Amino acid sequence: MTTRWGTGVGAVIAAVVVAASGLIATGGTAGAVTPTSGCPATVVIPARGSGDPAVAPQQYGAGRSDGYEGPLLSRLLTATYRDDRSIAAVPVVTTGPGYRAVSVPEGTANHSFGASIASGVAAVIARYDAAAAAGGPGCRPKAVLIGYSQGAAVVRAAAVVLAPRRVVSAVMLFGDPQQRPSAPGVVGAGSTGSGVWRDPAVALASGVSTVGIETYYQLPGLQRWSLCHDRDPVCDFGPDADFAGDPHLTYLQPNQQFVPAAGQAASSQTELQMAVATLRGFIATATRR
């Protein structure tokens, strides 16, 4: 995310239906990796942070992305797929350009984060549907969703919208702006922090809603993992948040040690090592379901 920060579920669902229809009508297949043959057991769908650019097309296992996973999640996916042939056939399906991922200045000035997140949720659903359709009749792959910053709000809401289908197996988040303190699956030195969009005044100014914000945590059978840095102004918002050093921009950096929870010592593993192990585990579990 080039600067910092994603919306309440209740405010986006109607917009998602309209936007998803538009994506499908105008060719919602944008954003796919080079397909593998047959119906995949699992797909991985990443959503980038606010203002994050697309990266160059990347090779993940047997498939190739269009780069709309963004820089941070590309780093994670590259490390996850490297030297692991067991997941080589699991495609990474990006949101494509349909997800606007507005920058912090634009989202703040235009109160447009909510609309941006709705575009992301619609893109996730359209891309999932396109991947399933490409797999042939009856293809219903499990989905592992990954989101950073605004993208975390996107995949949280997408998991809720897709819940009736029972296809989302796991969700992985970094710097979640809707984080509930010490919620199931929340890890990191900022695990007791509250997301910036849990503050009604900030949410209102950002054009997002707090309606339905707890629904994500109530989804049954969903594996969750959410990493928050200490004093990250997005997921650990408050008077002590560090806007100057901005720990929101240092996820998965080289030699960044993993801290299991607030108040605990750093482990011997780096964040990237822990995130890779967790994501591989999520993919393996989804594939067995």
Backbone torsions φ then ψ of 228, nearest 5 degrees: -130, 130
Count of CB atoms within 10 A of residue 288's CB? 10
Nearest CA-CA partner of 9 in 235, 163, 183, 184: 163
Nearest CA-CA partner of 47 in 135, 185, 167, 143: 143
pLDDT the model gives residue 74: 98
pLDDT the model gives residue 6: 35
Q: Which residues are CB-neighbours of 38 under 8 A, at least 6 positions away?
A: 135, 136
pLDDT the model gives residue 60: 98
- Tens-place pLDDT, residues 10-31: 333 333 333 333 443 333 443 4
| pTM (two decimals) | 0.89
Domains of the chain and CATH, by start: 9-288 (3.40.50.1820)
| Secondary structure E strands in the chain | 42-47, 59-60, 63-64, 142-148, 168-174, 186-187, 223-227
Report residues of the chain scoring pLDDT below 70: 1-37
Q: Residue 167 in 3-state DSSP?
A: coil
Both tokens of residue 157?
């809401």
- Tens-place pLDDT, residues 47-80: 999 999 999 999 999 999 999 999 999 999 999 9
